[in-house]
Structure 1
Amino acid sequence: MAVRPEGTPCWADAMFTDVEQAESFYGGVLGWTFGESSAEYGDYLQARVDGGAVAAVVPPMPGQEGQSQWCLYLASPDAAATAGRIRDHGGEVLLEPLRVGDLGTMCLAREPGGAVFGVWQGGTHEGFGATAVPGAYCWAEVITRAPERADAFFTAVFGYTTKRIGDEAVDFRVFDLGGDTVLGLMGMTDDVPPEVPSYVDVYFTVADCDAAVAAARDRGAVLRFGPADSPFGRVAALGDPQGANFSVIDITTKRGGTPQVGEVF
């Protein structure tokens, strides 16, 4: 597999107090299968779709119990150097670069608006083994209370260029890397309750958005938005039974033209 450019989304995982419940939920909604957990790495458990690694679930470490949330990892050739730039540009390093055997090196950080994300310097585990197929990662957006600061932060740390899509009522931007759009950023609006923290919304591909939403709600999920059509696919936002937010998208069902810079989609 080719080395991913720095700043490319390359992996996603989440801590769940009830890992068995998470396995059952995501297996039923996204078709994930699971192998044996790795006791050496804190019972880390990879999810797969058609043999390709797509995400992981893990129980919280002692003292880290709390609401579950998905964490998106961005690729780095040197996690220590990336951690230094995170600090230099107003971010917070929550977990110093930590080598995980021969798998790679991880780091956890928080952008200035409060959204937590990860950095991954790949070793034998380079990241996603499949993307943009049913059950696999497709897209992610930083949902933040400080969009201007977050924009300046991510472009400085990862070398992104920014394009704004929308008008003054919709603060939505995308980050490009080497000509490819790799990540979105949306400013939280005033109608979002103040107790809702900034977060990264991870999108997983599904073959049928409405069917995935029905399966998720049958298994205790909360529907937060949609299903709705967009130029990029039919999409819905959900909260799983343990409180982790995520989105699903059917990228084969698109409505409307692809928006240009300055347009609302």
Structure 2
Amino acid sequence: MPVKKEAWPEGTPAWVDLMAPDFAAAKAFYTGVFGWEFSESGEEFGYYAVASVDGEPVAGIGPVQGPDGPPPAWTTYVAVEDAEAAAARVAAAGGTVFAPPMKIGDFGTMAFAVDPTGCLFGLWQSGQHTGVNRYNEQGSLAWNEAMTGDYLAGKEFYATVFGYTYTEIGDERFSYSTVELDGRTVGGIGTAAEVGEGVPPHWRTYFAVDDLDGTIATVVELGGAVVVAPFDTPFGRMAAVSGVAGEVFLLNEVTPQAGAATPG
């Protein structure tokens, strides 16, 4: 069972979280779907809750702060060694840092940015909190990908900021590359337009499940919905679903024969 307690190498998608308009409903939903257990912070940290599987952090959920927040969505945080330096690289490469680096107690330092094509993402400089500890198994992070507004511009931006290299695996029907860091596959990049008409640029989050059909049934039973019906890939069966607030995420049922997509 993959467990990593050390900080993830710079450029690796290292954490995901959701700001929920109905905090209690979101926690109940994901507890039912994935069996997550939550450790909730106090007022100082906005009652942010860390979800765990077998005692190891896998994701975070917090209540929306204020009435004018963005639509609910899972946010991907990329590990950095120095948040200030990474934010400067983002700006120099044409991105926008709309929430500058901010220290979160002893847990670490975060910032929020938008790439030049419109994808929002976070930066995370580890302190006591190093990101996901458990991954690629039931209820934990399996994959992250940037679905950009401009494929070539997106690839150039992330290569400049994080040193990504790419392996093209798309074809004439769609553009898609795996993302590599020092020979490790850490994610993917494609285009939002090929996900669906009118879909804005965004980073997508995949969670691993042992039983895709059973998990989908639970999602629907608990108030979520199926966005894209199950489909087969070389990396296992997948589906896109939404939570109780409409936030979209993907499920990945990885077979023993298929290579699991790893966050690092």
Q: TM-score, normalised by structure 1?
A: 0.92
Q: Offset of 1:254 from its aligned partner?
A: 5.7
Can you give the 5+ residue segments of structure 2 that lack an aligned partner in the other structure?
Answer: none
Rate the CA distance shift 1:19–1:231 in 2: closer, same or farther, 3 A: same
Match of 2:24 in 1: 20
C-alpha contact 1:229 1:254 (8 A) present in aligned 2: no
> CA deviation digits over 1:10-43, x for unaligned, max 9?
1111100101110111111111111233321111
For residues 157 and 129 of structure 2, what CA distance do their matches in structure 1 show?
27
| Equivalent runs, 1:54-65 vs 2, <5 Å | 54-65=58-69
| Equivalent runs, 1:77-226 vs 2, <5 Å | 77-189=81-193, 192-194=196-198, 196-226=199-229
Asked if 1:75 corresponds to 2:104, the answer is no
For residues 60 and 191 of structure 1, what CA distance do their matches in structure 2 show?
27
> CA deviation digits over 1:187-223, x for unaligned, max 9?
13368333x3211110011111111111111122221
Equivalent residue of 2:86, what SS?
Answer: helix
Equivalent residue of 1:74, what SS?
Answer: strand
Alignment: residue pair count: 256
Equivalent residue of 1:35, what SS?
Answer: strand
Q: Offset of 1:230 from its aligned partner?
A: 1.3
Rate the CA distance shift 1:191–1:65 in 2: closer, same or farther, 3 A: closer
Asked if 1:43 corresponds to 2:44, the answer is no
Letter in 2 for 1:159: G
Can you give the 5+ residue segments of structure 1 that lack an aligned partner in the other structure?
Answer: 259-265
C-alpha contact 1:234 1:254 (8 A) present in aligned 2: no
By relative contact order (CA 8 Å, sep 6+), the higher-ranking structure is 2
Letter in 2 for 1:108: F
Q: TM-score, normalised by structure 2?
A: 0.92
The sequence identity of aligned pairs, in percent, is 38
For residues 2 and 29 of structure 1, what CA distance do their matches in structure 2 show?
27
Equivalent residue of 2:233, what SS?
Answer: coil
Letter in 2 for 1:29: V
Q: Which moved more, 1:14-23 or 1:215-224?
A: 215-224
For residues 38 and 178 of structure 1, what CA distance do their matches in structure 2 show?
39
**CA RMSD between the two structures:** 1.8
